[in-house]
Amino acid sequence: MKKISILAVALVAAFCLGFVSHPKNNDMNLGAFSMSLSVKDLNASKEFYENLGFTVLGGGLEKNYLIMKNGNALIGLFQGMFKGNIITFNPGWDENAKDMKEFKDIRDIQRHLKSKGVKLTTEADETTKGPASIFLSDPDGNVILLDQHR
């Protein structure tokens, strides 16, 4: 029993030491996180997600997309705009689509990702400022969009 107690204390200590000493990289705050869902019937999807407690935050039925929110959860419903679902981050925005005081510009994020060997599907023009986007895929083929609106 004593060996088990010593082992348990050692494991907890190792975990705590690893947690405390692990470098934290707050420089890569990617902004608001949402799932962009490709839907067949925007009205039906709107009603479904409203039944789950989501409310419309942005977009419009006439624009063929809605941004919906439930607490901190965000989803985008897009009809006829793309195939498949996309993991989306919005540098410069919080989960209420409000401007963040400080944020890392998408071009800086792009340079960081490229320095780490991450292959980008599309790139932002490095000579511009303001709104831009980049696409990449994770190792399993999940599409990720970083879309900066300001």
Mind listing the pLDDT tens digit for each residue in 55-108? 999 999 999 999 999 999 999 999 999 999 999 999 999 888 889 999 999 999
Judged against a pLDDT cut of 70, whether residue 128 lies above it is answered with yes
pLDDT score at 29 = 85
Question: Is there a domain that residue 18 lies in?
Answer: no
Per-residue pLDDT tens over the stretch 132-146: 999 999 988 999 999
Structural domain contains residue 43:
yes
Q: How many domains does the chain have?
A: 1
CATH number at residue 62: 3.10.180.10
Q: How far apart are CA 139 and CA 121, in angstroms?
A: 13
In a domain, 144, yes or no: yes
**Position 97, amino acid:** A
Answer yes or no: is 10 within a domain. no
> Is residue 112 in some structural domain?
yes
Q: Which neighbouring-strand residues pair with 146?
A: 89, 134
